[in-house]
Structure formats: C-alpha cells, structure tokens
Amino acid sequence: MAFRTKNLFEKTTKLVRSYSSDKIYTHMSLTLNEQTGIATLELAKPPVNSMSFGFLSQLAAAVQQSEADKYKGLIITSRSSGVFSAGLDLKELHHPDSDRILNYLRRLQDVWFQLYDCSTPTAAVINGHSIAGGCLLALSCEYRVMVNSFKIGMNEALVGVPVSPMFIACMQSVIGQWEAEKALLVGRLFTSEEALGVGLVDEVVGGKSEGVCKAEGYLAGFREVSARARGLSKRYLRQEVVRDLVRRREEDVKKLVEIISSRGVQDSLGEHLERMKNKK
Ligand SMILES: CC/C=C\C/C=C\C/C=C\CC/C=C/CC(=O)SCCNC(=O)CCNC(=O)[C@H](O)C(C)(C)COP(=O)(O)OP(=O)(O)OC[C@H]1O[C@@H](n2cnc3c(N)ncnc32)[C@H](O)[C@@H]1OP(=O)(O)O
C-alpha cells in the first residue's frame, strides 16, 4: 500500500513539518493513502484529546487541507485506545481571561463551520469515549462508526454549563428533537450499543481497524459520484442549520462568554475539575 505521510506526530514533543504546506501539527497527524485518496486524521493530544485553542487551530488547518487537496474522504479517529476526545479543554473554560475565551469560542465556531460544511466526505471512527465537544466532532462528520464498550454524549448538564445552540443543532439533526431533548437535558452519556439504538452512531464494531474498514467502505461508496455535485448537495442539505448559526454566531458567543464567566458556572466547572482530580 502506498501511504504518503503528510504529517506525523512523533512522541509528544517532536514537531514535524508538512512538506506540502507550512502547517505544523503537534496534536494530530494527517496521513493520505494515495491509492484511495482517503486521508486519516488521527487525534494525538495525550491524555484525552481535550480541545485547547491550539488543538482547534490544527483541526481547522487539517480540514482546510483536506478540501484544498481534494481528498476523496477524511476519516477522523484517535491515537489513544481509550479516548476519542474529552471535549473542550476545561482549563480554557475555568477562570478564563475575557479576550481569550472570546477568541477560543470563536475558534470553536470556525472549526465547526469548516468541518460541518466541508465538501470532503467525512467519517468518524470513535475508538474511545467521546464526550461533549468530542461528540460534536463526531456528529459533524457524515458517518460514525464506534468501537464497543465506550461512552458518547453531551454531558454539559452534569458539568453545569448550558448546551450551546451549535451542539444542540447537531444532536437534533442526527437523532431528532425528542431523543435530543431527553439526552441533553440530563447530560446522558450513551454506551456504544445504546448510541446505535438511537441512531447517534451508524455502526458498532469490535476494534479500531475494523472501524476504519467500515469508514473506508462508506467513503468508497462515493467513488462513482461526481465530487462537485456531491459537495453541493451536502451543502444544500446542511445549509439551514449553518445559515441559522452563522446569523446568530456573534450573539451566541457573547451570551456564552457571559454565562461561562458567571459565578455559578465557574463554581460548577471548578467542582467538576476537582471531581476528575479526585477520582484516582
Ligand atoms: C454558532 C455557535 C454558537 C455558540 C458558541 C460556541 C461554543 C459553545 C461552547 C461552549 C459552551 C460550553 C460547552 C462545553 C462542552 C464541552 O466539551 S465541556 C467538556 C466536557 N468534558 C468532560 O467533562 C470530560 C471529562 N473527562 C472524562 O470524563 C474522562 O477524563 C474521560 C472519560 C474522557 C477519560 O477518562 P480517563 O481515561 O479515566 O482519564 P482521566 O479522567 O483520568 O483524565 C486524564 C487527565 O485528563 C484531564 N481531563 C479530562 N478531561 C478533560 C477536559 N475536557 N479538559 C481538560 N482536561 C481534561 C483529567 O483532569 C486528567 O488530568 P490529570 O492527569 O489529573 O492532570
């Protein structure tokens, strides 16, 4: 098999420069299979692929690269065997500097718009727990394959932060209004098998390599389809959600900064971080 490694995350400290562009990925690697034209984006920010500002910036760059280089498909998965992504970096949300949190949430919106609205066919291989922002990442792809015995969902209700409109829209569009309401209002985390039951994921498999094969199978289904027509159809199918969120994005982000900065939410976040520290 002919693999061209556009970028490789080696250990945790080494920076590897892509030779096709000037982008440096330290939190993920992007590898193109030249035979199939399908690239794999492997998230590699130990220990839990939390979405820091830097992580979101690299994710945005990788999605941009997949569109610019006209990949036939993009598979998002994790290098960790236990966690796909723990979601937003709670340290970015706890006691935030007012400019930084504004920029952070804007960056999150930007990367979501890029991924959700990209013409490249996308699939997520969820080979570990996928919490809140991690679930959003998977839901923004077109197809989801999940390895068994993990948890996925949006736990904001348990963290004490409201579920933001972007997260709600994605959940609703995949599992429908009633299932989304039931899950989001209590911060439900689904097992892989339960997620399959409500349509949150499309397939459940025994391991990552089987998951990658299933995702490749989904993406190969577009081989005979015009990429341009497909890309436009995807945009049309998703445009209602995008249009509404673009229209209100500044209003949403300012409101969220206000909510996140409030005493009550900061106290809840502090308690959540403390619980995580003490669980060991
Ligand atoms: C138009 C648009 C409109 C709107 C604007 C846009 C955006 C709106 C945005 C925001 C609103 C707020 C929304 C937030 C959504 C989120 O994503 S909040 C994050 C929620 N995530 C969690 O609560 C995950 C918590 N983590 C876990 O449950 C477990 O860690 C996990 C099951 C993932 C893995 O378990 P395990 O393997 O046992 O690992 P540990 O628990 O031991 O963790 C290892 C270390 O990692 C640290 N850590 C875990 N999660 C996070 C995290 N999310 N951020 C930062 N750090 C994390 C943990 O503390 C351990 O650290 P230590 O080793 O102790 O130093």
Q: Which of 111, 175, 170, 169 is nearest to 139 (CA)?
A: 170
Q: Where are the domains of the chain?
A: 16-221+228-279
What's the confidence (pLDDT) of residue 161?
A: 87
pLDDT at 23: 59
Interface ipTM above 0.85: yes
pTM: 0.92
Q: If you measure from the C-alpha of residue 37 to the centroid of ligand 1, how many angstroms do you get, rounded to a whole number?
A: 33
Closest ligand 1 atom number to CA of residue 91 = 55
Cβ of 255 closer than 6 Å to ligand 1, yes or no, is no
Q: Is 231 a catalytic residue?
A: no
Owner of token pair 């502090």:
270
Instruction: For ligand 1, say whether the CB of 175 is within 6 Å of any of its atoms.
Output: no
Report how far ligand 1's centroid is from the alpha carbon of 187 (Å): 14
Strand, coil or helix: 259 = helix
Ligand 1: centre distance to CA 131 (Å): 7
Within 10 Å of residue 216's Cβ, how many Cβ atoms? Answer: 19
Determine the pLDDT at residue 160.
85
| Alpha carbon distances (Å) from 225 to 34, 70, 219 | 19, 14, 11
Q: Is 133 a known active-site residue?
A: yes
Is residue 153 lining ligand 1, measured as CB closer than 6 Å? no
* Ligand 1 geometric centre to CA of 43 (Å): 15
- Our answer to whether residue 156 is catalytic in this structure is yes
Q: Is 78 in the pocket of ligand 1 (CB under 6 A)?
A: no
Distance 130 CA to ligand 1 centre (A): 10
CB 134 near ligand 1, within 6 Å: no
Question: 240 catalytic, yes or no?
Answer: no
Q: In what order do the strands lie in the sheet with 83-85?
A: 83-85, 129-131, 151-153, 189-191
Q: Which one, of 277, 211, 217, lies nearest residue 78 by Cα?
A: 211
Give every residue of the chain whose pLDDT is below 50, as ranges. Answer: 1-22
Ligand 1 lined by 48 (C-beta under 6 Å): yes
**Phi first, then psi: what are they for 184, rounded to 5°?**
-70, -35
Task: Tell whether the torsion through CA atoms of 67, 237, 132 and 168 is positive or negative.
Answer: positive
Catalytic residue, from 42, 92, 142, 156: name it: 156
Q: Which CATH number fits domain 16-221+228-279: 3.50.50.60, 3.40.50.11740, 3.90.226.10, 3.40.190.10?
A: 3.90.226.10
Which residue's C-alpha comes closest to atom 27 of ligand 1? 86
For a substitution probing ligand 1, which of 158, 266, 276 has the most ligand atoms within 8 Å of its CB? 276
